[in-house]
Each structure stands twice: as structure tokens, then as C-alpha cells.
């Protein structure tokens, strides 16, 4: 009987942007639980430091860093700081994002549109380029770009966000080919409705819940198994894994 495969990230370094809360926090703890040392990045350093203490309690190293993904000039120094501390990156998760809602499309300002593009598309592109090229020099690595089912089934009130995430999907498909022969994989993880600290506006929406075939919203911890899979699945590249509980076109009867 074959021995079951157990994911072991001992000796690996995982970086998660937007890592101090929500799905990012769950992935940080999931990677650490699998044995990885982790870098926790978000705009709020104090929140990163608090989570870093939890990681250290698991016996892993943790590096909390402040980062605004929409600030292009801050991205290369951030990557340099990670390599200076650990000397490597094995798993990089572009999870930081934002999805502000304007009253209508015509009332969406240029400043809001640009901010959404900067954080959800431009920053992840630059980070993927910086990290992917250095992973290629090392001969291996996994980049996971966190998108959204909103890019696949967009709603009009989040058009800029959906467009940015659709761009992230296309960018990931393109860059998955750039360093693939050097052992670097680029994949997309597309979450659906998860119960996080930013879901208060729709968490009580029974109509939205009814559109999920499992009949409920996801818990943050439920994204971890997919993240661990993409981190270690050495023959998976250029794919988009949807984690949304399954869509349904009808009202479930039970």
C-alpha cells in the first residue's frame, strides 16, 4: 500500500502579501503549519507583527514587513529585504487586493479606478516579475496569484475590480510560460464568497448564499488546502483553480 502524500514545506520560505488578515492570514498559518518559514506583508505592520508571534509559536521563523502593493517603487526593496533575510523564496502569494464599490459606473472616479488597478494588477505584475526571475535563477518556485470569481462572473457594481482581476488572470497565464523551463510555476487561485472581515456587507445575503451549490459561504481556513496544493503541485502550471463552493443556477430545495 502506497504511503499517503503529506505536504511538507520544511526548509521552504513562503511570502504572502495581504497576509495579516482574511484569506492571507489563513494561508500564512497554513504554510507555517506545513513547516515553512513565512513573510507576512501588509500595509499595517502592527497586524503583521501580531501574526508573526503566532507563527513563531508554531516553531517557524516569521518576518513581518510593511508593504503597499500599489506603490511600484516599494516593491523591489521589499523583495530585496526578503532575500536578505532568508536568501530564497519558494512560494510567493500575491494576495493583497482591494474592491471598493462606487455608487455607479459613471460615478467611479479616475483616482478610484487607478487605485484598484494599481493594487490588483500592476503591483502583482511587478512582484511576479521580480520574484519569478529570481526563482528562475534558483531553479524552482511557485507563484500563486489570488484572483476572484468576480473576474469570471462579473457584476456591474465591481467592474473595475473584475477587470483588474481578469487582467491578473491573463497576466498569470502569460508569465506562467516565461520561466517554466527553469522550474517556476505561476498559477491562479480564484476564491468565491468567503466569510472574512471584509464580507460584512453581504454575509447575511441569503440570495447570494442560495447561489452557492454547497448552500453556505466558505471559512478562510478552507482556502488553505488549495494554496498548499498549488505551492507543491510540480506539474501544475498556468491554471486557474476556482474555490467558490460551486455555482448553482437554481434555488436548492434542501
pLDDT tens by residue, 14-42 = 999 999 999 999 999 999 999 999 999 99
Of 161, 179, 194, 217, catalytic: 161
User: Where exactly are the structural domains of the chain?
Assistant: 13-243
Contact partners, residue 164, CB within 8 Å, separation at least 6: 116, 117, 119, 120, 121
For residues 82 and 89, is the Cβ–Cβ distance under 8 A? Answer: yes
Return the pLDDT at 214.
84
* Position 200 pLDDT exceeds 70: no
At 10 the three-state DSSP class reads coil
Q: How far apart are CA 71 and CA 61, in angstroms?
A: 26
Q: Give per-residue pLDDT as tens, 41-88.
A: 999 999 999 999 999 999 999 999 999 999 999 999 999 999 999 999
Q: How far apart are CA 216 and CA 195, in angstroms?
A: 10
Q: Could you give the C-alpha distances from 80 to 24, 77, 85, 142, 221, in angstroms and in order?
A: 21, 5, 9, 18, 30
Percent of the chain with pLDDT over 70: 93
Confirm whether 161 is a catalytic residue: yes
Return the pLDDT at 2.
45
Return the pLDDT at 53.
98
Average pLDDT, the chain: 92
Confidence of residue 1 (pLDDT cuts 50, 70, 90): very low
**What's the maximum distance between 2 C-alpha atoms anywhere in the chain?**
62
Q: Give per-residue pLDDT as tens, 129-158.
A: 999 999 999 999 999 999 999 899 888 888
Return the pLDDT at 201.
65
Q: Give per-residue pLDDT as tens, 211-253.
A: 888 888 889 999 999 999 999 999 999 999 999 888 766 554 5
Q: Determine the Cα angle at 7 with ends 178 and 241, to 5°.
A: 50
Q: How far apart are CA 42 and CA 91, in angstroms?
A: 17
Sheet containing 141-146, strands listed edge to edge, beginning at the edge strand earlier in sequence: 62-66, 37-42, 13-17, 91-94, 141-146, 184-191, 240-243
Q: Which CATH fold topology does 13-243 show? A: Rossmann fold (3.40.50)
More confident residue, 201 or 62: 62
Return the pLDDT at 250.
58
Average pLDDT on 175-201 reads 89
Identify the CA nearest to 163 among candidates 103, 128, 96, 114: 114
Return the pLDDT at 194.
81
**DSSP summary character for residue 217:** P
* Position 190 pLDDT exceeds 70: yes
Return the pLDDT at 235.
97
Amino acid at each position: 500500500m502506497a504511503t499517503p502524500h503529506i505536504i511538507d514545506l520544511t526548509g521552504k520560505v513562503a511570502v504572502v502579501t495581504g497576509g495579516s488578515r482574511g484569506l492571507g492570514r489563513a494561508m500564512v498559518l497554513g504554510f507555517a503549519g506545513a513547516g515553512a518559514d513565512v513573510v507576512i506583508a501588509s500595509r499595517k505592520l502592527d497586524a503583521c507583527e501580531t501574526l508573526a508571534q503566532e507563527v513563531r509559536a508554531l516553531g517557524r521563523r516569521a518576518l513581518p514587513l510593511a508593504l503597499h502593493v500599489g506603490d511600484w517603487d516599494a516593491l523591489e526593496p521589499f523583495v530585496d529585504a526578503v532575500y536578505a533575510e532568508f536568501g530564497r523564496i519558494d512560494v510567493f502569494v500575491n494576495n493583497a487586493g482591494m474592491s471598493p464599490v462606487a455608487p455607479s459606473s459613471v460615478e467611479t472616479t479616475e483616482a478610484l479606478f487607478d487605485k484598484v488597478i494599481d493594487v490588483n494588477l500592476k503591483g502583482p505584475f511587478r512582484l511576479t516579475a521580480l520574484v519569478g526571475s529570481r526563482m528562475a535563477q534558483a531553479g524552482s518556485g511557485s507563484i500563486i496569484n489570488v484572483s476572484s470569481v468576480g473576474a469570471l462572473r462579473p457584476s456591474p457594481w465591481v467592474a473595475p475590480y473584475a477587470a483588474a482581476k481578469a487582467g491578473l488572470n491573463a497576466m498569470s497565464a502569460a508569465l506562467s510560460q516565461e520561466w517554466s523551463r527553469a522550474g517556476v510555476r505561476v498559477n491562479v487561485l480564484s476564491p468565491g464568497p468567503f466569510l472574512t472581515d471584509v464580507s460584512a456587507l453581504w454575509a447575511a445575503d441569503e440570495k447570494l448564499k442560495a447561489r452557492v451549490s454547497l448552500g453556505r459561504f466558505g471559512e478562510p481556513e478552507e482556502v488553505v488546502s488549495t494554496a498548499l496544493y498549488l505551492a507543491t503541485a510540480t506539474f501544475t502550471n498556468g491554471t486557474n483553480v476556482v474555490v467558490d463552493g460551486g455555482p448553482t443556477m437554481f434555488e436548492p430545495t434542501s
